[in-house]
Structure 1
Amino acid sequence: MKPKVKNWLIQLNKGIIKTNTTKIIYEIHKHTFRGKGYVTIDELRRDLNMAHQTLTAIVSSIQDEGIIKSIGEIDINDRPFSKLAYAEKSERNHLILKRRKEKLSQWIKRGKEEWLDLMPQSLIDEINKL
């Protein structure tokens, strides 16, 4: 576990909810265990009075560390929102690996779309094997 993640969890356990990151983790934890089992970005934005871009950047970082997970989607006013939940400790390594694989896949797709005309065929073949 990275030092920053340990720090977030120590702060959460001690009730030190000062940074935007710990505020978000706390809210997701609260909704997961004392609410309906999940919370959406839209609800977090309203509850925390936080800019959407700031919120989504921090949520992405927290997901990268396996602290939270997406457990499906819900439509709100004909717009899809991810259902976010706090992850159990036993799930974290799996979630980190899954997230890294998703990001690699997105990176490969973007790279192929943008640079395909400059890639040698041998590289394209290798990338397609991934």
Structure 2
Amino acid sequence: MDLIDCKILTHLQENARISVSELSKLLALSRPSTAERLVRLQEKGIIDAFTARISLPAIGREIMLIIQVSALKVSLQEFEEMIQQEEAIIECHRVTGEVSYFLKAAVHDMNTMRMLIDRLIPFGTINTSTVLTSPVPYRILTP
């Protein structure tokens, strides 16, 4: 990867819908060269997917939670299968240390939060924190 590839990644993270023509103008590179670089970045697995970031409050998910799960009472496989079916969970990370999993959830209201926690309690020890603000909600990454 060179500086141009890094610039491509930055522009795509800012706006994944940017056209090859617009991108080539920003890079001062021909459209075919830009398109070729895009394909190469995808083939190498550097570009994993093109997605949209959704505003959680705009879709009614006003409350974001960070949930720590420790002292699992079920197998890892059983817990992970349950979590994959849980619509409120938007991220799940298995980690080292005393805590087994960090979950990020987004819910509509306090009652929905309570019901989610109630569903998680049978699986282990649950510690929930409500997100007040997110000073770094998303960071653009380059190599």
TM-score by length of 1: 0.31
Bigger radius of gyration? 2
Specify which structure has the higher proportion of strand.
Answer: 2
Which structure is higher in RCO with an 8 Å CA cutoff and minimum separation 6?
2
TM-score by length of 2: 0.29
